[in-house]
Each structure stands twice: as C-alpha cells, then as structure tokens.
Amino acid sequence: MDPTRKAKEHLQYVFKSCRIHYKRNVDHYPYCADTKHDMLEILKANSSEEINQIFGQIKMRNEDGIQNWLEYYQKPWVLGSLTYHYSLMSYEDWQTTPFDTNIAESIPMSSKDKSDFGKKMQANKRSVRKLSKRTTSKGKQRASKKAKIDYDDDDTEMEIEERKIALEERKMQLKQNEIDLKLKELQIKKLEMELNNNQ
C-alpha cells in the first residue's frame, strides 16, 4: 500500500462492486421506474459527464430518501467500484476482472433455463435418470445416490459461497454505516464546540 494515499483512494484502484447485487438493490428500492432506470444507466454510461447528468436527473425528481442514496453513490470510491469512469484501475484491469462476485450469481437456476449452463444441468439430470434405469436395483440405488450427492454437494457449495458473499456485503455496509455515524458524531461535537465558543 502506498502510505501517501488514503484508504478510500486505494479502494478506487482495487475495488469493483458486483453489478448483479447492485441491480438487485435497485430493483428493491422504493423509487419510481424512471429513477431506477437512471440508476441502472450509470453502469452503461460512456463518460463521467454522462454519469453526472444522470445524477442530476435523479436529484431533480427529489424522491423521499433519494438524497441519502445520492450521497452514498457519489462517493468516489463507491462510484469508482461501479464504473470505469471513476475508477483508478487501468482499463485493462477493469475489463479483465469480473463484474460479478461469482459466476453462479449470473446463472438463473430455474428448470426453464435456456442458457448453456441450464441445458447442461438438464442433460446431466437426464443422464443420471437413464443410468439409474439401466442398472440393477442395487446398482441403481448406488448410482442415483452418488449422482444425487454430487449434485447436492455442488449446490450446497454454491449456496455457501453465496451466503458468504452476502454476509461480507452486510459486514461492509455495517462498517460503512459505523463510519458515517462516527463522522456525524464528530460534526455534532464540532458544532457544539463552536456554539460554546460563541457564547
């Protein structure tokens, strides 16, 4: 770490937020459809000027609670984690590092999934069924148990990883909330001292 830089500046060189989680959060916000659309447009913007315009549009709507959202997402290290235009990462690093926290995050797991991964999963399930039909009853039980265990193990590992990621994100948010609270407390103390000095 470069001792001449502040920790938040270091984050701009190395931190990249998961876009899938960002999109999920936007989807759950209580704001109007236009505001949510603009929030997602930040990820697609082609310049910092365009991003600033988007923030201006969001601010003009003046929805309840939007000021807190703007304050948070306009922090350089937070905005730099979402878009290259505010990141201090090299363009090559930005493009080669993942835009999500886990490949499993970007794969829908429904039975109607038409992606390559979904097709492979369905094909594997069919293979297991065919294999179990061909074996003797003893062999059948062993084959289906083994297949089921393998599938469940993979599924469980994915779920565990997703929970770990979600937990880490919650921890980061709590730390950020604590920092924000301490900053507010310091501002209040400073104002109180100024008031006491003026009296």
DSSP string across the chain: --TTS-HHHHHHHH----HHHHHHHHHHSSS-HHHHHHHHHHHH-SSHHHHHHHHHHHHHH--TTHHHHHHHHTSHHHHHHH-GGG--S-HHHHHHS-SSS-GGGGS---TT--SHHHHHHHHHHHHHHHHHHHS-HHHHHHHHHHHHHHHHHHHHHHHHHHHHHHHHHHHHHHHHHHHHHHHHHHHHHHHHHHHHHH-
The b/e string for 69-86 (b: 16+ C-beta within 10 A; e otherwise) is beeebeeebbbbbbbbbb
- Do 95 and 137 belong to one domain? no
* pTM summary value: 0.49
Burial class (CB in 10 A: 0-12, 13-18, 19+), 16: buried
- Do 65 and 89 belong to one domain? yes
Give the contacts of 104 (CB within 8 A, at least 6 positions apart).
158, 161, 162
* Cα–Cα dist 16/82, whole Å: 6
Which pLDDT value is given to residue 187? 87
Mark which of 73, 100, 127 sits at the end of a domain.
100
Total count of domains within the chain:
2
Q: What tokens were used for 78?
A: 């937070």
- Which residue, 150, 118, 120, 144, is CA-closest to 131? 144
- Do 66 and 44 belong to one domain? yes
The residue segments making up the domain with residue 28 are: 1-100
Which pLDDT value is given to residue 150? 43
Which pLDDT value is given to residue 86? 86
- Residue pair 19/99 in contact (Cβ under 8 Å)? The answer is yes
Q: What is the pLDDT of residues 106-145, one digit of tens each?
A: 455 444 445 555 565 566 556 555 555 554 454 545 444 4
- Do 71 and 115 belong to one domain? no
- Do 127 and 180 belong to one domain? yes
Which pLDDT value is given to residue 140? 47
* pLDDT tens-place values along the chain, 199 residues long: 667 777 767 667 777 888 888 999 999 999 999 999 999 999 999 999 999 999 999 999 999 999 999 999 999 888 988 998 888 888 888 888 787 776 554 455 444 445 555 565 566 556 555 555 554 454 545 444 444 434 444 456 666 777 777 778 888 888 888 888 888 888 888 888 888 887 7
Inter-helix orientation angle 19-28/33-44, to 10°: 170
- Residue pair 77/58 in contact (Cβ under 8 Å)? The answer is no
- Do 37 and 128 belong to one domain? no
